[in-house]
Amino acid sequence: MPAKKKSAPRKELSPLALELIAARFRALSEPMRLRLLNLLMGGEKSVGQLVEATGSSQANVSKHLSVLREAGMIAMRKEGLSSFCYIADPIVNELCEMMCSRLREEMESKVQAFDAGI
């Protein structure tokens, strides 16, 4: 095959792939949704329980849950009047814990720099 113009060619992602990946990250880009996911990490919960735990409105929680569901991160199970939510994609735990620990590292290093008088 013909030689490339220059530098490292690397794998270019297709526009579709970029959009799909961005959509997943976008689902994680709101504090309320992270809070809901964090609550669900403790096990499945009904929408009502999530409403009570967050102190937010039912409509708002329901909407955020829809976003998370469309992103494939959670799933719902109906039981009588209640809908129970649970984490459907194990990547959620990994991603959040990774981001959490990274932030902690970062902040601790800043504290150290502060303590060192820099």
Of the candidate spans 10-18, 25-33, 94-102, 110-118, the one that interacts with DNA by CB under 7 A turns out to be: 25-33
In the complex, minimum distance from the CB of residue 77 to DNA, in angstroms, rounded to a whole number: 10
CA 49, chain centre distance (Å): 20
Of the candidate spans 11-19, 43-51, 89-97, 105-113, the one that interacts with DNA by CB under 7 A turns out to be: 43-51
How far apart, in whole angstroms, are the C-alpha atoms of residue 28 and residue 82?
A: 25
Selected binder of DNA within 2, 80, 90, 117 (CB under 7 A): 80
Instruction: State yes or no: residue 30 binds its own copies (CB under 8 A).
Output: yes
For 84: left if phi > 0, alpha if psi spans -120 to 50, otherwise beta; the answer is beta
Instruction: State yes or no: residue 91 binds its own copies (CB under 8 A).
Output: yes
Instruction: State yes or no: residue 38 binds its own copies (CB under 8 A).
Output: yes
How far apart, in whole angstroms, are the C-alpha atoms of residue 35 and residue 28?
A: 10
How far apart, in whole angstroms, are the C-alpha atoms of residue 45 and residue 52?
A: 11
Is 104 strand, coil or helix?
helix
Contact positions toward its own copies, by CB under 8 A? 7-13, 15, 17-26, 28-31, 33-35, 38-39, 41-43, 45, 72, 89, 91, 94-96, 98-100, 102-103, 106
